[in-house]
Chains A and B, each alone.
Chain A
Amino acid sequence: MCDTCGCNITPGNKHLNEAGGKLSHSADGKAAVDVLHGLLGENDRQAAHNRAHLEKHGVLAVNLMSSPGAGKTALLEATIAALKDELRIAVIEGDLETENDAERIRAQGVPAIQITTGSACHLDAHMVHDALHHLDLSQLDLLFIENVGNLVCPASFDLGQHRNVVLLSTTEGDDKPAKYPVMFRAADLLLLTKSDLLAVLDDFEPARAEQHLRQLANAAPLLQLSARKGQGLDAWLAWLRGEIAARRAARQKFRAAPKLSGVLRV
């Protein structure tokens, strides 16, 4: 939703803002000003700028979110190893401290920009924008943004990504989507990671994880994989290739219609 055209006025709140609504009054000596702006409007504007910047260069941006230790960096290592001869990849790494993850990515032979957030629990669009300036987007097909390991705050901040991929490791419990609905509702793809451990974990049921995801009205696909053991990677790589193909097709459509005014979002 944007905060310029009024689309943020929903059936649930419009009665409050119409003439005579309880927020339209002004009291003596005071002036009440209706605003109805998204509180994160500044972040959302920056995110839209980031997205436009990425789309100009035909780069697919994927935001990876999970709890700490669910296997985001291990997934990236395996993904880069499988795709680096086929696609030009870069990674933006978010952590509170250390360059450790960026160094793991660089060891795979692709550029990695580490954002250390200090005590901030999430990446925001401005941090990602700064990081984008350290990358040559004209030389990229695929940008991963590895968010700070946290199932709460990162879900609230648009970074300019095209897709959200949420990882749920089998050691965490299959009811995580029910416990962190804001995060799992935002997922475009749910990866059940460390699937090699399912054989020894008798309390994680992938079908239950899926059921909890559906109860959030989320139709996102679920894939099981183990980055360490190389299991299930093909379906994940196929999903990525499909997303990249869709992004390229959208870009060609955009180029074919240069006279269109406004922003074409697909």
Chain B
Amino acid sequence: MHELSVCQALLAQVAQVARDNAARSVEKVVLRIGPLAGVEPRLLQDAFPIARAGTVAAAAELVIETLPLTVRCQSCGAETAAVPNRLLCGACGDWHTQLVSGDELLLASVELRKS
């Protein structure tokens, strides 16, 4: 339920990017979110129209790209896909793995209109 506060943090960053680039408005915001980020993309989509109102991104589209969940095994070295509550090596089944990708919560890019 903290998606609205995440959205507000997002819009503060987007506004900064718009200022830095002397943009008139923001057309599109692209996020990249991993399944272990602790943020639900659908709820973020719901919160975004509320948070963007009255900002430079008032008409912006929100695009969320979901990143894959990948682990690297410390025993056998394999890199395999995993699911959030089962981060085991897909090759040998060991639980001694490291997350390669999957906990990202990133503002990837912003599309601006300058004139």
Which chain A residues have a beta carbon within 8 Å of chain B's beta carbons?
8, 10-13, 16-17, 23, 26-27, 29-43, 120-122, 124, 152-153, 155-157, 177-179, 181-182, 185, 212, 214-217, 219
- Supposing A10-B104, A31-B111 touch, asked if A217 and B1 sit within 8 A by C-beta, the answer is no
- Supposing A37-B13, A39-B10 touch, asked if A217 and B85 sit within 8 A by C-beta, the answer is no
Contact call A35/B9, Cβ cutoff below 8 A: no
Chain B residues positioned under 8 Å from A43 (CB to CB): 9
Rounded to whole angstroms, the CA-CA distance of A145 and B38 in the bound complex is 20
Contact call B106/A38, Cβ cutoff below 8 A: yes
B interface secondary structure, majority: mixed
Contact call B87/A12, Cβ cutoff below 8 A: no
Which chain B residues have a beta carbon within 8 Å of chain A's beta carbons?
1-2, 5-6, 9-10, 12-13, 17, 21, 23, 27, 30-32, 34, 36-39, 65, 67-68, 70-71, 84-88, 95-102, 104-115
Contact call B85/A12, Cβ cutoff below 8 A: no
Contact call A40/B95, Cβ cutoff below 8 A: no
Contact call A36/B108, Cβ cutoff below 8 A: yes
Chain A residues positioned under 8 Å from B68 (CB to CB): 12
Contact call B112/A31, Cβ cutoff below 8 A: yes
Identify 12 new A-B residue pairs, CB closer than 8 A, beyond the known A41-B13, A178-B86, A182-B36.
A10-B100, A12-B100, A12-B102, A30-B111, A35-B106, A36-B107, A38-B105, A39-B106, A155-B38, A185-B36, A215-B86, A219-B96
> What are 22 A-B pairs at a CB distance below 8 A?
A10-B101, A11-B100, A12-B101, A17-B108, A23-B109, A30-B27, A30-B112, A31-B21, A32-B112, A33-B109, A35-B13, A35-B17, A35-B107, A35-B108, A38-B105, A38-B106, A40-B105, A156-B37, A157-B2, A181-B36, A217-B97, A219-B96
When C-beta atoms are compared, the residue in chain A nearest to B21 turns out to be: A33
Residue among A30, A39, A182, A212 making CB contact with B9, cutoff 8 Å:
A39
Please give the distance in Å from A30's CB to the nearest CB on chain B.
Answer: 5
- Supposing A10-B104, A31-B111, A156-B2 touch, asked if A215 and B13 sit within 8 A by C-beta, the answer is no
Chain A residues positioned under 8 Å from B104 (CB to CB): 8, 10, 12-13
